Amino acid sequence: MAELAEAAADHYALNYSRHPVPVLFREVHATRALLTEVLAPGGASADLQRQVGRLSALLGNLAFHLEDFSGARTHLATAAAYADRCGDAALAAWTYGALSMVTRSTGNLPAALTYAERGAAAPRGLVRAQLHAWALLPTLALQGLDREATSALEEGLTELEADPVGEAPDRFGFDAAELALHQAEAHLALGRTAQARSRAESSAATCTTGTPGWAAATFVLAQAEASAQPSDAAQRGMDVLDRIPPSRLRSTARTRLKRLDSLLADCPADSVSDLRERLNTLPPPVDAHGAASA
């Protein structure tokens, strides 16, 4: 049973970005439900508990991408409990990073920093590098703590360089494109537009066009261009909407798109008007049950 559970968790983690979020949420939720039925109190192996924890972590991430923040916190708290129970320090660290991301998105920066600091005490190497870049760096940058944010980035880079592999695939993994994206958004938060543009360009260039990672980097690049090149910024936003169907736009993509629209609010360019019209006609997001959430 543990081997089958691991195969399922590996599949969902590796193919996370290939499926619409609502569809994947339902599949992962059903799989976890099947496994929890066989979790007898005190009788399940540590490895089976670990896989249930991984599936719970994936559900938390998926709920976040469906803009269900309370659901995300619930699933991630469950994942953290399973990680602690079976002694999986890497999964626990990742879960705290995800909790930091969720609370940061709701504006609760003190709680986000607490989760980020807890996650940053991760196993050395790639896991710790990810937590510094994904959780600590953006939280500190949003608080305007330039020196502390720079220190978090330097620590993450040091850990990344020390890791013998340097990157890992799937939802729990970390790579150069993700690092560059977090750097770009941190630079934006700290008012470093030129650096933000450079890192966003690097992230987008490393991603496959049309993927969620590419969309995220492109929207951040557009935000960095908004003040000096509003027409180009708006066209980048249009390019994402042309390539990615509304059903595959994550809540994070919609948030970045709204931020871009806000930055372009005072620009009279035709391309900006075209982007705003597309936004006004964009179908509402779909929840885990396939229904429009607004």
Pairwise pLDDT comparison (44 vs 136), residue with the higher score: 136
Between CA 281 and CA 5 the distance in angstroms is 42
**Encoding tokens for residue 177?**
């494109």
272, 231 contact by CB (below 8 A): yes
Among 255, 197, 270, CA closest to 227: 197
Could you identify the residue written with the tokens 């937590």?
A: 131
Q: Please report the DSSP string for 207-251 in residue order.
A: SPTTSHHHHHHHHHHHHHHTTT-HHHHHHHHHHHHHHS-GGG--H
Q: What is the mean pLDDT of residues 145-153?
A: 97
Cβ-count burial 205-242 (b if 16+ within 10 Å, e if not): ebbeeebbbbbbbbbbbbbbbbeeebeebbbbbbebbe
pLDDT at 294 over 50: no
pTM of the model: 0.95
| 27 CB-contact burial (10 Å; exposed 0-12 / middle 13-18 / buried 19+) | middle
CA 67 vs. chain centroid, Å, equals: 12
Between CA 7 and CA 38 the distance in angstroms is 17
Count CB neighbours of 52 within 10 A. Answer: 24
Between CA 44 and CA 2 the distance in angstroms is 9
62 phi, psi to nearest 5 deg: -65, -40
Name the β-bridge partners of 292: 286
Q: What is the pLDDT of residue 43?
A: 63
Write the CA distances from 75 to 5, 40, 56, 107, 135, integer angstroms: 18, 20, 5, 20, 18
**Encoding tokens for residue 157?**
């880079």
Q: What is the mean pLDDT of residues 130-134?
A: 97
Q: What is the pLDDT of residue 289?
A: 67
Q: What is the pLDDT of residues 66-119, one digit of tens each?
A: 999 999 999 999 999 999 999 999 999 999 999 999 999 999 999 999 999 999
Q: What is the mean pLDDT of residues 114-131?
A: 96
Residue 123 sits at the vertex; the CA angle it makes with 4 and 5, to the nearest 5 degrees, is 5
Q: What is the pLDDT of residues 8-48, one digit of tens each?
A: 999 999 999 999 999 999 999 999 999 988 876 666 789 99
Share of the chain above pLDDT 70, in %: 96
Between CA 68 and CA 59 the distance in angstroms is 11
Among 157, 156, 137, CA closest to 147: 137
Q: What is the pLDDT of residue 291?
A: 59
The pLDDT mean for the chain works out to 94
